[in-house]
Amino acid sequence: MFPMSLIETPIKACCPEDGIVLDPFCGSGTTLMYCFKNNINAIGLEINPDFKGMIERRMNKHQQTLAGWTGAVE
C-alpha cells in the first residue's frame, strides 16, 4: 500500500474527464480506492488471489458492488 497522494498528480495529468484509469497490477487497490473516492472510472487487474479479500474490504466501505470482480485467473 502507498499513500493516495502519490497517484493523484499522474491521474489528474493523464486521465481525461470521463476517462478510465487502468491499474494492471492493482495489489491492495489503492489506485482503485482513489478513483472511486474521486468519481473516476477505473479498472483494476490482479492475478494474485491473496489480494482479493483486501481489495473487497477496502472497496466495500465506499462502493456497494464491484462490477465484474472475478478474482484471479486459474
Q: What does the pLDDT look like over 9-42, one tens digit per residue? A: 999 999 999 999 999 998 888 898 899 889 899 9
* Grid coordinates belonging to 26: 492493482
- Evaluate whether residue 74 is within a structural domain: no
- Evaluate whether residue 53 is within a structural domain: yes
What are 41's strand-pairing partners?
Answer: 20
**The predicted structure's pLDDT at residue 29:** 87
- Evaluate whether residue 52 is within a structural domain: yes
Say if residues 35 and 13 touch (Cβ distance below 8 Å). Answer: no
Q: What percent of the chain has pLDDT over 70?
A: 81
**The predicted structure's pLDDT at residue 14:** 94
- Evaluate whether residue 67 is within a structural domain: no
Say how many domains are in the chain. 1
- Evaluate whether residue 65 is within a structural domain: no
**The predicted structure's pLDDT at residue 73:** 42
User: Which residue range is the domain that position 51 belongs to?
Assistant: 15-60
- Evaluate whether residue 3 is within a structural domain: no
Spell out the alpha helix ranges (H) of 15-60. 30-37, 52-60
Nearest to 19 by CA among 10, 30, 27: 10
The yes-or-no verdict on residue 49 having pLDDT over 90 is no
**The predicted structure's pLDDT at residue 62:** 59
- Residue 71 phi/psi, 5-degree rounding, is 80, -160
